[in-house]
Structure 1
Amino acid sequence: MNQSILFSDIQTWNEAKQVVLFPAQCCGALIQCQISKKALEKMSGCLLKDEQHILTVFSQCRFEIEELAEALIEDEAFDQTGMIEISN
């Protein structure tokens, strides 16, 4: 694990975008990351019904999600807004 990339325990559900947002910090820079509901369903193997269920499953899959986000950050795979996106 790259110690220069840190993840906090903060995550929020964005209903409009159907994503969970979570921040990372790399070399002092704050990077907004997101995982789509579809990607989270695929990763967990279950149908996510409401915000509480989505955030619970996110927490259960957090290590795997953070590894994916870390790899994307290291590859500098930012979208046009500077965000890291994990999607299907």
Structure 2
Amino acid sequence: MNQSVIFADAISIDGKKQLLKLVAHQQGMRIECVLSFARLQQLCKTPVNVDNAASLLEGVRFEVEELAETLIEEDAFDEWGRIEI
């Protein structure tokens, strides 16, 4: 695991867009990472909604952070400068 990418513990949930937002930091740069409810459901094999999204993320957080870290290292940023997991 590359320790140059650090993830904050806090997440935010956008119920309208059905997204979770995580923040990573790499060499002083703040990177927003987004994870759709659909992708989270694929990872945890459980239906996701606003009420359970945060707790389901915690169950697969290590895997999500590994995926995000790989995408960051590959410079796979979207047009808004975010990483879409």
Instruction: Provide TM-score, normalisation by structure 2.
Output: 0.96
Partner SS state of residue 17, structure 1: coil
Q: Is 1:12 matched with 2:12?
A: yes
Deviation at 1:52, TM superposition (A): 2.9
Report the number of matched residues. Answer: 85
Stretches of 4+ moved more than 2 A in 1?
Answer: none
Q: Report deviation, 1:16.
A: 1.7
Deviations 1:40-84 (A, max 9, x none): 001000112x32311100111100000000000000000001000
Q: Which residue of 2 aligns with 1:74?
A: 73
Aligned twin of 1:22:
22
The letter of the residue matching 2:17 is K
- Work out the CA distance in 2 between the residues paired with 1:24 and 1:44: 21
CA–CA separation in structure 2 for the residues paired with 1:85 and 1:70: 11
Higher strand share: 2
Once superposed, what is the RMSD of the aligned Cα atoms?
0.8
- Percent identical pairs in the alignment equals 38
Superposed CA deviations along residues 3-61 of structure 1, whole A, max 9, x for unmatched, are 1100010111111211100000001100000100000001000112x323111001111
After the TM superposition, which residues 8-87 of structure 1 pair with which residues of structure 2 at under 5 Å, given as runs? 8-48=8-48, 50-86=49-85
